[in-house]
Amino acid sequence: MMGTEEQARADALDAAVERARARYAERRPRTAQLHERASLHLPGGNTRTVLYHRPFPLRIARAWDAILEDADGHRYVDLLGEYSAGLYGHSHPVIAEAITAALHEGISRGAHTGREVDLAEAICARFPSIERVRFTNSGTEANLMAIAAARAFTGRDRVLAFRGGYHGGVLNFAHGPSPVNAPFDVVLADYNDTAGARALVRAHAGSLACVLAEPMLGSGGCIPAEPGFLAGLREATREAGALLILDEVMTSRTGAGGLQARLGVTPDLTTLGKYLGGGSSFGAFGGRADVMALFDPSRPGALAHAGTFNNNVISMAAGHAGLTRIFPPPVAEEHARRGDALREELGRAFARAGAPFSVTGAGSLLAVHATAGPVRTPADAERGDPRLLEVLFLDLLEAGYYIAPRGYLALSLAVTPGQEAGFVAAVEAFLAERVGLWGGLTRRAAPGRPARA
């Protein structure tokens, strides 16, 4: 049973959520109309689950640099960066030029081109663990093919993955195993529990094809691997004769060689996606030459790997231009430092306010949690109150800043230092105006009053 004061705070928080939703809906009549139309043909008006939020999802009419404009004309600084895929912003001239040049050469060619060679060379040069690479259309496909490669190479079937992990549509354990997961034989371990994971690897050594891990849980809350965790997995998989697959679909942007380079771990296979297509549909898997040789079609009995658009010229051209001309290693390192600095600044703001928020992440990927922390496991993140995050999300929209409803941010190169400073100021205004929602202080937010930058 909740005490009187605790119940009063809960009621105040419920009321704040309802007021914030009402304010959002009132200011976006065109967006509401689009949602009604969409709901007639799309389940819930939605074809990408993560984009949905209450009372109805934002709909963007146009975008440029790091700015979004919704269907009702409201503008926002985009701090979500297309869930890490939009590293280059919405209108980078180098990307536009590369895509235009590729289109002028012909769109769908049904044949090899030189552009896939360019991108393959650039990726293998950037990530030393990738000796050979194959392209796909998404990170989901990349993870599917990497698991298939591990099973074929080892002659075993079982996969060890982690609670809170997310590997696209193929395997999702953010809130336990998803009913739409691919039917692999999966054993689940706890993230950042080195001893427990190693024990499971030993227990299943005879049947274990691979360990599939994110070097930082992405959708699971931007929870980085602790020192020794990935190294422990690397050692355990070698002892068991299983492959270590690092899912760097999100984290490959956190420094010149991805998070695996920052942590000093060399996997057998790596999966990639998101920004590496320059803003177009893209995925890739690669690693040891002997494993990837399974897909060499010049060899008898090679594994088939289909995909009409695996080497589509738009993704190949945009991906190569972005990786080599916009995001070379020095820029990647500086961008990671910039994200680390923002995370630390937000953490200080939460601490100064005495607010039940914390922030985790690595480089330009970070997540705000509605709990004072520390957050080192998905269970820690689950202790947060989702209503606080919803009020934060909706207040920040009114202040002109767009993050994920769950508190996730992925900084693009287009975001300016001034926009970052404005965002921090908007968060500080939210903390001051909404302080009554978590108690300890007497000030209450004025009904319906949004935080302002």
Query: Would residue 446 count as lying in a domain?
Result: no
Tell me which DSSP letter residue 276 carries.
G
pLDDT of residue 1: 59
For residues 259 and 7, which has the higher predicted lDDT (pLDDT)? 259
Distance CA 173, CA 194 (A): 18
Are residues 68 and 128 both part of a single domain? no
Q: Average of pLDDT values for 360-379?
A: 95
Q: What percent of the chain has pLDDT over 70?
A: 96
Are residues 181 and 320 both part of a single domain? yes
Confidence of residue 441 (pLDDT cuts 50, 70, 90): very low
Q: Which of 326, 353, 372 corresponds to the end of one domain?
A: 326
Query: Would residue 168 count as lying in a domain?
Result: yes
Q: Which of 326, 355, 372 corresponds to the end of one domain?
A: 326
Query: Would residue 272 count as lying in a domain?
Result: yes
pLDDT exceeds cutoff 50 at 443: no
Look at the chain and report how many structural domains it folds into.
2
Q: Average of pLDDT values for 135-142?
A: 98
Query: Would residue 376 count as lying in a domain?
Result: yes
pLDDT of residue 5: 80
Tell me which DSSP letter residue 446 carries.
P
Tokens 């503008």 -> residue:
75
* Each residue's pLDDT tens digit, 209-225: 999 999 999 999 999 99
Q: Let me know: does 287 contact 129? Beta carbons within 8 Å.
A: yes
Query: Would residue 282 count as lying in a domain?
Result: yes
Q: Average of pLDDT values for 308-321?
A: 97
Query: Would residue 102 count as lying in a domain?
Result: yes
pLDDT of residue 174: 87
Read off the amino acid at residue 342: L
Distance CA 87, CA 338 (A): 13
pLDDT exceeds cutoff 50 at 450: no
Report residue 265 as tokens: 């771990």
* Each residue's pLDDT tens digit, 234-249: 999 999 999 999 999 9
Report residue 30 as tokens: 């065109």
Total-model pTM = 0.95
Q: What is the CATH number of the domain that holds 190?
A: 3.40.640.10
pLDDT of residue 90: 98
Would you say how long the chain is, in residues? 453
pLDDT of residue 3: 74
Q: Which of 326, 350, 367 corresponds to the end of one domain?
A: 326
Q: Average of pLDDT values for 356-385?
A: 95
Max Cα-Cα span within the chain? 75
Query: Would residue 444 count as lying in a domain?
Result: no
Q: Which domain holds residue 173?
A: 93-326
pLDDT of residue 2: 67
Are residues 112 and 180 both part of a single domain? yes
For residues 444 and 158, which has the higher predicted lDDT (pLDDT)? 158
Averaged pLDDT score across all residues of the chain: 95
* Each residue's pLDDT tens digit, 386-439: 999 999 999 999 999 999 999 999 999 999 999 999 999 999 999 999 999 986
* Each residue's pLDDT tens digit, 37-71: 999 999 999 999 999 999 999 999 999 999 999 99
Strand ranges (DSSP E) for 198-241? 208-213, 216-217, 223-224
Task: Please name the helix (run of DSSP H) or strand (run of DSSP E) that holds residue 367, with its range, or none.
Answer: strand 365-369
Are residues 313 and 351 both part of a single domain? no
Are residues 321 and 372 both part of a single domain? no
Are residues 72 and 31 both part of a single domain? yes
Are residues 354 and 400 both part of a single domain? yes
Distance CA 151, CA 143 (A): 12
Are residues 393 and 312 both part of a single domain? no
Are residues 74 and 144 both part of a single domain? no
Are residues 72 and 167 both part of a single domain? no
Report residue 23 as tokens: 């304010």
Angle, in degrees to the nearest 10, between helices 93-104 and 313-321: 150
Report residue 18 as tokens: 């309802």
pLDDT of residue 7: 87
Are residues 280 and 361 both part of a single domain? no
Name the region of 54 (left: φ>0; alpha: ψ -120 to 50; beta: rest): beta
Query: Would residue 335 count as lying in a domain?
Result: no
Q: What is the CATH number of the domain that holds 60?
A: 3.90.1150.10
Are residues 111 and 243 both part of a single domain? yes
pLDDT of residue 176: 85
pLDDT of residue 288: 98
Read off the amino acid at residue 351: A
The neighbouring-strand residues paired with 286 are 133, 270
pLDDT exceeds cutoff 60 at 327: yes
